Chains A and B, each alone.
Chain A
Amino acid sequence: MRDLFAVAMMFGIYSLLTAALFMDLDAADVAFTEAAVGAGVTTILLLSSLRLTGRWERRPKHSPLLPLLVVGVTGAALVYGTLDMPHLGDPQAPVHQHVAPHYIENAPQEMGIPNIVTAVLASYRGFDTLGETLVIFTAGLSVFLLLGSRAGGRPRPGKTAIGEQPVLRLVVKVLIPFILLFALYVQLHGEYGAGGGFQAGVIFATGMVLYDLVFGEGDARLVVPARWLPRLAAFGILVYGSVGLYALLHGRPFLDYTVLAEDPMVGRHLGILLVELGIGICVFAVVLSIFYALSGRRRQP
């Protein structure tokens, strides 16, 4: 498979199948994220960088013996590790005995929201999610450092991306409001079903990317100029951080949402919503800035 475009598409299919597998393993949220990210963002980023680095791959010259050996050893260690594992899905496995039951029993009383995953994500292990948002922020920062926002010459307003496609432009014009609305639905729906700040941010960005693809990035940059995006991402993180720090002012430990309102339940609701909003803004800004940096760059041979 030496045509890297085909490899990128195959990778899209692979991550799609992984998302379907997650669905089957009862992981709705994770399937949602994997589909939005694996098939959507990664494929688009891959394609836009392949545009810059060339589509064809040369046959590697050196012999595959050493890699095979290393892979074999690691694989043997992994299989050795799996021998004592409990079977798939057996309820007696230690995993389901210790920490998890607490989440399932107490989440309704303490949080009052049906989606336990969002409850654990935003409140029980909120610090992990702050770390996760910072990882995304670091990625956006690194791509900004590497490719710079103004790189690749000034945006070419009005240059249509795919030649003359009047039909496509019309349909996309109708679709984009729907996509952005769907993203908003996912953002606010995080507590009741699959969804949340991170997936919503990605869908927002995909909507803008679609606009950029079809109408040429000149127009897209007029709508959301590239200069704002790093600041927007920073703003998203500060929203998250300030919700946490607010608890500090009241003498409660960091990220304790009960201080936000008298009744702790309402406080936690509010906290989770605010936090998800912060993540959504940050992810949207980062994904879009990475796409701009890659697609806006002129091809240097």
Chain B
Amino acid sequence: MNLLLEGLSAACLLAGSFLCITGGVGLLRLPDFFSRVHAAGVTETLAAPLLLTGLMLQMDWSLDLLKVLLIMLFLLATNPTASHAMAKAALHGGQGPNDEKAEEDKGSIS
């Protein structure tokens, strides 16, 4: 039984960390702000729960398990909202999604 648990948690952790790194690299490589928001979104909203489930599988039933679940729920609630709010604010901030020209001159001012 716990072999299955071990395997599952290992898989989750692996997938989580892989997504993490791809998100990070995406954050650096992608040219435009809005594509970076997407990359950051991937890591925050997908890699985080994967890693936390991996962690939960390894822990035995205790108050701590409940707390990790709480953290996961909290992250799931806040991160998408934060990314959404950021994208909306950026849009309001006059930075069109994919007009490259706006990207250059906007970059110089702020």
Contact = CB atoms under 8 A, between A and B. Distances in A.
Contacts of A162: 85, 89
By secondary structure, the A interface counts as helix
- Of the four ranges (under 10, 10 to 19, 20 to 34, 35 or more), the interface on chain B belongs to 10 to 19
Interface in A158-206: 162-163, 165, 167-168, 171-172, 174-175, 178
B74 A163 contact: no
B81 A171 contact: yes
Contacts of B74: 175, 178
Contacts of B84: 167-168
A178 B77 CA distance: 12
B92 A163 contact: yes
Interface of B is mostly: helix
Contacts of B110: 3
B101 interface: no
Q: How large is the interface on A (under 10, 10 to 19, 20 to 34, 35 or more residues)?
A: 10 to 19
B78 interface: yes
Contacts of B89: 162-163
Contacts of B81: 167-168, 171-172
B77 A165 contact: no
A168 B85 contact: yes
Contacts of A163: 88-89, 92
Considering residues B74, B78, B85, B89, which has the most beta carbons from chain A within 10 angstroms of its beta carbon? Answer: B85
Contacts of A167: 81, 84-85
Interface of A: 3, 162-163, 165, 167-168, 171-172, 174-175, 178
21 contacts: A3-B110, A162-B85, A162-B89, A163-B88, A163-B89, A163-B92, A165-B85, A165-B88, A167-B81, A167-B84, A167-B85, A168-B81, A168-B84, A168-B85, A171-B77, A171-B78, A171-B81, A172-B81, A175-B74, A175-B78, A178-B74
